[in-house]
Amino acid sequence: MQKKRLLIYAHYYIPDVASTGQILCELAEGMKESFDITVICVVPSYEGAVAAKYKEKRYYYEEINGINLIRIRVPDFSKQSKLSRIKNIVSYFFGAMSATFKASGQDYVYAISQPPILGGLLGVWGKWIKRAKYIYNIQDFNPEQTIAVGYSNNRLVLRLMMMLDKFSCKRADKVIVVGRDMVETLKKRFGGKNVPRYTFINNWIDEQAIYPLSPYTDKVMTFKQRYGIDGKFNIMYSGNIGLYYDLENIIRVMGKFPSGTKTADGRELIFTFVGAGTKLEELKAYKEDHKLYNVEFIPYQDSEDLIYSLNAGDVHLCVNAKDIKGVSVPSKCYGIMAVGKPILGVLEKGSECAQIIADTGCGSCCEPGDYASIENRIRWFIDNAGSERFAEMGMRGRAYLEKNLAKDISIKNYIREISEC
């Protein structure tokens, strides 16, 4: 029997390291036995630079692991410049609209909420042009996220954003959100009346690719030695060093633990930031200005090396800024659980990841903005380093993930929900 055709709008796709791009790659490859899949995305450009080989034509056609890609040329951009980012995003939006005509007839159209607002509108466009069923996957609610982090205070713009994204929700045949708290946000948008048809499916990590390793594994040791963290107690933040995580204030808390601070088992404390983003240079400057010699910055790791970098952390920070509850779910939580490490959560009570941590006991949480509690949680991990209680905390997260958050479970749910539209 001929497979149904599914068109996916994905702002980023592999080899870009954006978390949504990685998730969409795994989702597409996991569904390819059920659907004939085409992905419309940008040429590799997550870090802002576009390789010369992708600057010659408007569209590039590729096939990766059985998935057909239509890549759109976009201009270089700087993550520190709002104007250049907007230009890049708008180029993707109009390029994706045009590329829709280059995809063959489709039965389903799937779009995510990236870029903000425009991702949902692309799904509506695809539904109209292809006369297909439309599935809108909301990874982040906007303008709610924009308001929470103070990215814009223009009421007219925010009102327009809300109107447009509600329009995308209404036109969707199904809305999929990635957190239980996000279900409540969707209902609130519509005042509990005429709420679009929706379902909740967790994001995931590939638990067979990311798993616990001995700290003495060769490649884990190599990673530690390369960045000067061998033999140290490493509290790690791994992911986007961007607007939504309050890292510029959390690094100030780290400053309360001077170089030479020792854990209960005698190791020297170090804080590491692995990744890149709009706040990276600000954090680096703060480190230099305040002589935080036990804070290190490490570049993004290739996906095949992520298992080693995550296993190099002893405790991992999982952070969201205040008022992000019900708006976004930090997928980094699943990667931390996959390697069996304790989580230091800076998350609002009742948010999706805070609920998981509370239910499993795989870490310790405090509220965003409560810097005294963050400091106290760090001290608890320092005082309990090397203990049986410490080790058990992380492994509880791994056990829960294998049972409830495995990749195959979520992908099967996506196949079912899309097929039932």
For 184-190, the CB contacts below 8 A with 24+ separation are 184/326, 185/141, 185/144, 185/326, 185/327, 186/138, 186/141, 188/326, 189/141, 189/162, 190/166
pLDDT for residue 185: 96
DSSP string, 179-209: SHHHHHHHHHHTTTSSPPPEEE----B-TTT
Q: 384 CB contacts (<8 Å, ≥6 apart)?
A: 264, 390
> Distance (Å, rounded) from C-alpha 77 to C-alpha 151?
18
Neighbours of 22 (CB within 10 A): 20
> Distance (Å, rounded) from C-alpha 158 to C-alpha 141?
12
Please state which of the four CATH numbers 3.40.50.2000, 3.40.1280.10, 1.25.40.20, 3.40.50.720 is assigned to the domain occupying 4-204+406-419: 3.40.50.2000
Strands (E) in 142-300, as ranges, are 174-177, 198-200, 233-238, 269-274, 295-298
CA torsion sign for 406, 409, 410, 415 is positive
> Distance (Å, rounded) from C-alpha 350 to C-alpha 356?
9
Residue from 169, 111, 331 nearest 240 by CA? 331
Sheet of strand 233-238: strand arrangement? 295-298, 269-274, 233-238, 315-319, 343-346, 363-366
- Report whether the peptide linkage leading into residue 15 is cis, meaning its omega lies within 30 degrees of zero: yes
- Give yes or no for a contact between 204 and 22, defined as CB atoms under 8 angstroms apart: no
pLDDT for residue 146: 87
> Distance (Å, rounded) from C-alpha 69 to C-alpha 49?
20
Every domain of the chain with CATH number 3.40.50.2000 lies at 4-204+406-419, 218-404
Q: 299 CB contacts (<8 Å, ≥6 apart)?
A: 274, 275, 276
Q: Which two tokens stand for residue 80?
A: 């520190």
Q: Per residue in 214-249, is it b (16+ CB within 10 Å) or e — as a string?
A: eeeeeebeebbeebebeebbbbbbbbbbebbbbbee
> Distance (Å, rounded) from C-alpha 273 to C-alpha 239?
8
The residue written with tokens 């884990």 in the block is 220
Which H helix or E strand runs over 111?
Answer: strand 108-112
The amino acid at residue 285 is A
What architecture does CATH give domain 218-404?
3-Layer(aba) Sandwich (3.40)
Tell me the β-bridge partners of 9. 40, 111
> Distance (Å, rounded) from C-alpha 388 to C-alpha 272?
24
The residue written with tokens 């479970």 in the block is 409
Residue from 75, 78, 82, 89 nearest 9 by CA? 89
Tell me the β-bridge partners of 135. 110, 174
Neighbours of 417 (CB within 10 A): 17
pLDDT for residue 221: 96
Give the side-chain half-sphere CA count within 13 A for 79.
Answer: 16
pLDDT for residue 1: 74
- Give yes or no for a contact between 73 and 98, defined as CB atoms under 8 angstroms apart: no
- Give yes or no for a contact between 66 and 28, defined as CB atoms under 8 angstroms apart: no
- Going residue by residue through the chain, which has 421 residues, state the pLDDT in tens, using 9 for 90 and above: 789 999 999 999 999 878 888 899 999 999 999 999 999 999 999 888 898 899 999 999 999 999 999 999 999 888 778 788 889 999 999 999 999 999 999 999 999 999 999 999 999 999 999 999 999 999 999 999 888 877 778 899 999 999 999 999 999 999 999 999 999 999 999 998 899 999 999 999 899 999 999 999 999 999 999 999 999 999 999 998 987 789 999 999 999 999 999 999 999 999 999 998 889 999 999 999 999 999 999 998 888 899 999 999 999 999 988 889 999 998 899 999 999 999 999 999 999 999 999 999 999 999 999 999 999 999 999 999 999 999 899 999 999 999 999 999 999 999 999 999 9
**Helix pair angle (371-384, 247-254), 10° resolution:** 50
C-alpha distance from residue 78 to each of 50, 89, 171, 284 (Å): 11, 12, 33, 17
Give pTM, 2 decimals. Answer: 0.89
- CA dihedral angle for residue 100, residue 105, residue 110, residue 115, rounded to 10 degrees: 0
